[in-house]
Structure 1
Amino acid sequence: MNLYERIVNHEEKISLVGLGYVGMPIAVAFAKKINVIGFDIHKEKIELYKSGIDPTKEVGDEVIKNTTVDFTSNESRLREAKFHIVAVPTPVREDRTPDLTPVKSASRTLGRNLTKGSIVVFESTVYPGVTEEVCVPILEKESGLTYGKDFKVGYSPERINPGDKEHRLETIIKVVSGMDEETLDIVAKVYELVVDVGVYKAESIKVAEAAKVIENAQRDINIAFMNELSIIFNKMDIDTKAVLEAAGTKWNFLKFHPGLVGGHCIGVDPYYLTYKAEQMGYYSQIILSGRKINDDMGKYVAESTVKQMIKANKQINGAKVAIFGVTFKENCPDVRNTKVVDVIKELEEYGIEVKVVDPVADKEDLWYEYRINPCTFDEIKEVDAVIFAVPHDEFKTLTLGDVKVMFEPTGYINDEVMKEIAATSEIEVQVNRENCVLMDIKGIFDRKEAEQKGFKYWRL
């Protein structure tokens, strides 16, 4: 009886090392079929899970309350498992070089608790070679075991899209790989327990690592092209969204859109590939060019906001701007590597006071990472410009009348009567709409309607 059969028969357990936006949903999915130990070094996070709270909002509190995952921050519990999945973040440093600290640390922790006959599968996004050249030596050193004899290794890149309720672990083909055919077969069968659409067996660990890193690099380049088009078309006074809708009628046109590209994947992964390429003596041209365009978009949005405010005869120094949305993407609490922060910093360089509204963002992470304390809706009043940076569903319920009230001294929600007046065409609110600067980054509102109502409207 091999390891897969023992796992299925509940004679052996699997462990998830790292219970964030990726690891936790994987642990929950496996727990429906087999015995799972969920390990994370953050005791506070473990206590939340044990209390039935999902801080990631990926599966929801109800699912966490009912899951059979054995959550723990005690690393010695890892010795109870024989199949380990490592799903920790792989960020970049300020100089945009790979920061392998989390995956190295996880390897050391796991190595200290690794037992003979185990299989370790890494899911963290890395450049080709990290699993076998960086992680395996750490596992050997910490465990005293021999790679290939006492334990084996595989790699299966994560493809979970935080905040996406359609493309989930169960509905995305899973790329799997192993150090040998036997390992590959076991890894594939284990993942097939939870991935309904099946797995794809890569021919080697390096191939699987490379496949993952280029997935997001490709998307990054395509979005960079859209952002460059937006810059060009704005200079031509042409609506980029209208252009893309027209071009999108062709069957083979790739439907990407301009935007702020942040997060822990698209804004990071390309640097892993270019770093490894430079080590091999090749200096990227297309990938890094796309990255530069996307990295500069926060500054571009901020500068465009200032230009629109000047056209509206606003005093820039001391002006107030409200930004709606600070997470790296819509309907997701994750604020890691969000490019909205670039917009905020740039505006503050002009002496502008920035208020942030985001009911979705993880407030603790927002404060810890950026020292930003978000406001409530009713605190937004008498602003000089409003920026809708992230299209959360909560924001899509707002009307242009609601936005108009934000420019009033009474504010958005404090005075319900004023809100009703703002939405009534028969009575005009006493605010000069020609001075209402609306920066609608992702196009939540209708451009023509906004301009008809007198807003100085701008979008990518």
Structure 2
Amino acid sequence: MDLYEKLLSGEEKLSLVGLGYVGMPIAVAFARKIKVVGFDLNEKKIELYKAGVDPTNEVGGEVIKNTTVEFTADPSKLKEAKFHIVAVPTPVNPDHTPDLTPVEGASRILGQNLQKGSVVVFESTVYPGVTEDICVPILEKESGLKCGVDFKIGYSPERINPGDKVHRLETITKIVSGMDEETLDTVAKVYELVVEAGVHRAESIKVAEAAKVIENSQRDINIAFMNELSIIFNKMGIDTKSVLEAAGTKWNFLKFQPGLVGGHCIGVDPYYLTYKAEELGYHSQIILSGRRINDDMGKYVAESLVKNLIKADIPVKGAKVAILGFTFKENCPDTRNTKVIDIYKELQEYGITPVVVDPAADADEAKRLYGITFNTMDDVKNMDAVVVAVAHKQFLSLDKKTISSFFNPAHHKKVFSDIKGIYDRKEYLTDDYIYWRL
């Protein structure tokens, strides 16, 4: 009986190492079919899961309550599993070089608890070569086992889109790869248990790693182009959204929008690719130029707001500005690598006091990562300007009367930045408003 059949019969278990926005939904999905051990070092997070609470909002508390996943912060429980999926984050350092600390740490813990006959599949986004050149030696050293003899490895990049209820693990084609044909077949069959859309068998681990890292690099470059257009059109006095709506009537026009590019994927993955390219003596032209544009957008938004305050004859120093939304994307509690922090810091540089409100965000995480304490919607009054930075559903229903109540009534002009363009622009093209959007 092979490993796949043993998983199906309940004789062996699957482990999920890293139970964040990506790992937890994967663990829950597999637990509907086979026995699953869900491991994370964060004991507080494990206790929440055990209590039936979903801090990620990815599957919901009711699903967590009813799942059969064995949630644990005890690394020794990994010894009970033979098929391991590693889904830890791969961030970048302040100098934009890859920070492989989480994936190296996960490899160490897994190696210390690895059993003969195991298959280890990495899902973390990395540059081509990390799985075989960095993770395998750590697994071998910590376990005393030999890769290819005592255990096998594969790679299957995550494609889960946090906060997206349509494009989920089950509905997105899964890229799978293995160190040999036998491993590839096992990895493919295991993932086919939960991925209704099917799998794509990549010809090698490096091909699978490369495919993942270019997916988000491509998106990053396209958004950078939109952001550059936004800067140009704003200088021309043309509304970018209107231009894109017109251009979008052509069948082959790619419908991207300008915006802040944060999160753990689009704003990070391109640096993994360019880092490896630099190692090989090639300096990226297009990818890094796109990154520079996108990384500067928070500063650009803040500068545009300051200019509009000056136009409205409102003193910049000491101004109070409400920032509605702080997460890296709408309807998602995750604040890690949010670009709204760039707006916040830039406004502070001008002596402005930002008042941040985000009913969807993880407030504890924001306090820990950025030292920011959120205000409530009730605190948004007598403002000198308002920025709607994230298109949360809680903000979509705000009408003009409500938005107008946020401002200091003494001002003749209301400075309003609708970054994502979620409101009807024509409604705000009035004498008492200075409306701006990307």
TM-score tier, shorter chain, comes to over 0.9
The TM-score with structure 2 as length reference comes to 0.99
Please state whether the residue corresponding to 2:435 is helix, strand or coil: strand
Unaligned stretches of 5+ residues in structure 2: none
Q: Contact 2:125/2:158 (CA < 8 Å) preserved in 1? A: yes
The TM-score with structure 1 as length reference comes to 0.95
Q: Contact 1:384/1:435 (CA < 8 Å) preserved in 2? A: no
1:435 maps to what in 2?
413
1:227 maps to what in 2?
227
1: CA distance between counterparts of 2:138 and 2:19? Answer: 21
Q: CA deviation at 1:400?
A: 1.0
1:447 and 2:433 correspond: no
Q: Contact 1:404/1:433 (CA < 8 Å) preserved in 2? A: no
| Structure 1 runs (4+) greater than 4 angstroms displaced | none
1:61 and 2:39 correspond: no
Q: CA deviation at 1:454?
A: 2.6
2:323 maps to what in 1?
323
Q: CA deviation at 1:312?
A: 0.5
1:249 and 2:249 correspond: yes
1:383 and 2:422 correspond: no
1:459 and 2:437 correspond: yes
1:404 and 2:407 correspond: no
1:22 maps to what in 2?
22
Q: CA deviation at 1:452?
A: 2.9
Code of the residue aligned with 2:291 in structure 1: it is: R
Code of the residue aligned with 1:402 in structure 2: it is: T
2: CA distance between counterparts of 1:376 and 1:11? Answer: 51
2: CA distance between counterparts of 1:208 and 1:434? Answer: 57
1: CA distance between counterparts of 2:350 and 2:382? Answer: 19
2:84 maps to what in 1?
84
1:424 maps to what in 2?
none
1:51 maps to what in 2?
51
Please state whether the residue corresponding to 2:429 is helix, strand or coil: helix
* Pairing 1:182-193 to 2, within 5 Å after superposition: 182-193=182-193
Please state whether the residue corresponding to 2:107 is helix, strand or coil: helix
Q: CA deviation at 1:453?
A: 6.5
2: CA distance between counterparts of 1:345 and 1:452? Answer: 30
Aligned length: 438
2:269 maps to what in 1?
269
Q: CA deviation at 1:433?
A: 6.5
* Pairing 1:104-123 to 2, within 5 Å after superposition: 104-123=104-123
1: CA distance between counterparts of 2:412 and 2:110? Answer: 61
Please state whether the residue corresponding to 1:14 is helix, strand or coil: strand
Q: Contact 2:260/2:340 (CA < 8 Å) preserved in 1? A: yes
2:12 maps to what in 1?
12
Q: Contact 1:380/1:406 (CA < 8 Å) preserved in 2? A: yes
2: CA distance between counterparts of 1:376 and 1:387? Answer: 15
Q: CA deviation at 1:455?
A: 1.3
* Pairing 1:160-239 to 2, within 5 Å after superposition: 160-239=160-239
Code of the residue aligned with 1:436 in structure 2: it is: K
Please state whether the residue corresponding to 1:323 is helix, strand or coil: strand
2:392 maps to what in 1?
392
Please state whether the residue corresponding to 1:109 is helix, strand or coil: helix
Structure 2 vs 1, CA of residues 331 and 453 (structure 1 numbering), >3 Å: closer, same or farther? farther
* Pairing 1:406-421 to 2, within 5 Å after superposition: 406-408=406-408
2:349 maps to what in 1?
349
Q: CA deviation at 1:434?
A: 3.9
Code of the residue aligned with 2:347 in structure 1: it is: L
- RMSD, matched Cα: 0.7
Q: Contact 1:17/1:39 (CA < 8 Å) preserved in 2? A: yes
2: CA distance between counterparts of 1:433 and 1:403? Answer: 14
Percent of pairs with identical residues:
72
Q: CA deviation at 1:432?
A: 5.5
1: CA distance between counterparts of 2:410 and 2:60? Answer: 44
2: CA distance between counterparts of 1:96 and 1:120? Answer: 28
1: CA distance between counterparts of 2:293 and 2:385? Answer: 25
Provide Cα deviations, 1:9-52, integer angstroms capped at 9, x if missing partner: 11100000000000000000000000000000010000000000
Provide Cα deviations, 1:138-188, integer angstroms capped at 9, x if missing partner: 000000000100000000000000000000000000000000000000000
2:126 maps to what in 1?
126
2:143 maps to what in 1?
143
Please state whether the residue corresponding to 1:159 is helix, strand or coil: coil
Q: Contact 1:433/1:453 (CA < 8 Å) preserved in 2? A: no
Q: Contact 2:323/2:387 (CA < 8 Å) preserved in 1? A: yes
1:420 maps to what in 2?
none
Q: CA deviation at 1:407?
A: 1.1
Please state whether the residue corresponding to 2:154 is helix, strand or coil: strand
1: CA distance between counterparts of 2:206 and 2:431? Answer: 56
Q: CA deviation at 1:435?
A: 1.6
* Pairing 1:273-288 to 2, within 5 Å after superposition: 273-288=273-288
1: CA distance between counterparts of 2:288 and 2:15? Answer: 37
2: CA distance between counterparts of 1:285 and 1:400? Answer: 44
Q: CA deviation at 1:444?
A: 1.4
1: CA distance between counterparts of 2:190 and 2:412? Answer: 61
Q: CA deviation at 1:257?
A: 0.1
Code of the residue aligned with 1:324 in structure 2: it is: L
Code of the residue aligned with 1:446 in structure 2: it is: D
1: CA distance between counterparts of 2:365 and 2:87? Answer: 19
2:374 maps to what in 1?
374
Q: CA deviation at 1:381?
A: 1.1
2: CA distance between counterparts of 1:97 and 1:266? Answer: 15
Please state whether the residue corresponding to 2:82 is helix, strand or coil: strand
Provide Cα deviations, 1:285-307, integer angstroms capped at 9, x if missing partner: 00000000000000000000000
Q: Contact 1:433/1:455 (CA < 8 Å) preserved in 2? A: no
1:2 maps to what in 2?
2
1: CA distance between counterparts of 2:411 and 2:333? Answer: 33
Please state whether the residue corresponding to 2:146 is helix, strand or coil: coil
Unaligned stretches of 5+ residues in structure 1: 409-430
Please state whether the residue corresponding to 1:452 is helix, strand or coil: coil
Provide Cα deviations, 1:98-153, integer angstroms capped at 9, x if missing partner: 00000000000000000000000000000000000000000000000001000000
Q: Contact 2:413/2:431 (CA < 8 Å) preserved in 1? A: no
Code of the residue aligned with 2:342 in structure 1: it is: D
